[in-house]
Amino acid sequence: MREFIDLGEAGRLVGGPYPFGEAAAAHAAIEARRPIGKVVLTP
């Protein structure tokens, strides 16, 4: 449980929103397995 709390506090449970202009960065983050959770592209 502590691991999830630590990940949440570090902002790593959700990959977060990326603007369309940063789609390459979002893709690189997914490939590097940095985010845990969903990565969303936003307009």
Looking at residue 13, its pLDDT comes to 64
Coil, strand or helix: which one is 42? strand
CA distance 25 to 4: 24
Question: Token match 């940063």: residue?
Answer: 22
One-character DSSP codes across 4-37:
HHHHHHTT-SS-EEEEGGGHHHHHHHHHTT---S
Number of domains the chain contains: 1
**Is 22 within 8 Å of 39 (Cβ atoms)?**
no
pLDDT category, 40, cuts 50, 70, 90? confident
How far is residue 33 from each of residues 11, 13, 26, measured CA to CA in Å? Answer: 14, 12, 11
> Per residue in 7-36, pLDDT tens?
767 766 667 788 999 999 999 988 888 766
Full domain range(s) for residue 28: 2-42
